[in-house]
Structure 1
Amino acid sequence: MFTGIIESLGKISHLTKEGENLHIEIKSTLAPELKIDQSVSHNGVCLTVVELKENAYVVTAIKETLDKTSLNSLKEGALINLERAMKMGDRLDGHIVQGHVDGVATCSNIEEADGSWSFTFEYKYEEFSTVEKGSITVNGVSLTVVNSKKGAFSVAIIPYTFENTNFKGIEVGNEVNLEFDIIGKYVKNLMKPYL
């Protein structure tokens, strides 16, 4: 369980294919504090630490994960948003995030405002939807939805988030990972028989 508040940016130092699996080595200031079997959110994808190195660690993404997320497009040197699992009793500064990505979206527009940015994303999942002023997780970042439409939404990014996440590297046409609000998904599922 995560909150969507990014702790650190990691840097992809090595990618190794093994069969249909992808081993991802990440350099991070968090590495010395991690343990084998610990869950860490990587651009919103919950992955298990399988190996520790000096100032780096390794996680493995299987085919199912690669098929449903943007991790298959990672490149060495890319920045990745990192968040360790929340501790019971901590403040929930973002929203409830499972680290189970629902799918990918494509950045369709970026507008710089006077001191902030508006990013618009489009997706093709009819079973999911956003709610105006509701929560959404984009690459692991807990954000508030603005301009919710069928198959699209925007988010407003403040300077702190822009500088301390990989939003600063997102360009129009890039894919990002989406996790829709868990409470919204449960409500929608419960309402299906009545719609």
Structure 2
Amino acid sequence: MTQPALSIPQLPPLAARALRRLPLTPLSFSLTAYARRIAKHHPGLFRRLGEFDHTRFVIDPTDLPFVIEMQPNGGQPKIKVVRGSGQGEARIAGPLAGLLGLVHGAYDGDALFFSRDLVIEGDTSAALALRNAIDDAELDLSAEVAQISGPLAAPLQKALSFIENRTGVSLSRQDELEVW
């Protein structure tokens, strides 16, 4: 029996073109601060990386005009957003919605890999360690953003939920329904 092809939402080309003008330095600083907050609240994420806790990863959302270089630095992560292919020991590439879906448990990494929606290059052991660490942490990126949003948390959560429902992009971790 053949599995149906995954339907991963793609960023519209017009939105990707608009992001070409985005200044990357402020985005890099913001993502570094965000990653350090996640590290503070999920220290096991970085411990789980083991020998790869200083490996440079390139996260390549293929529908965006930039890549994300991430270095865990033993729990003091540093993020740099760059144009081009980036530099790192391991590269993980796929549509932004697929990468976010992996983080939130909405997509299975093996299924994405074998359907070629996800590409792993370089040190595959490091990429697998990162995947396992993220799976274990059960991150919810929207919840992390809401926690630092103060009084804007509730309206932000509503807006993110609306966007998630309209686009099909997994912006938060969905609780699995138990079947009795």
Higher RCO (CA-CA < 8 Å; seq separation 6+): 1
TM bucket (normalised to shorter chain) is under 0.3
Scaled by the length of structure 1, what TM-score is found?
0.26
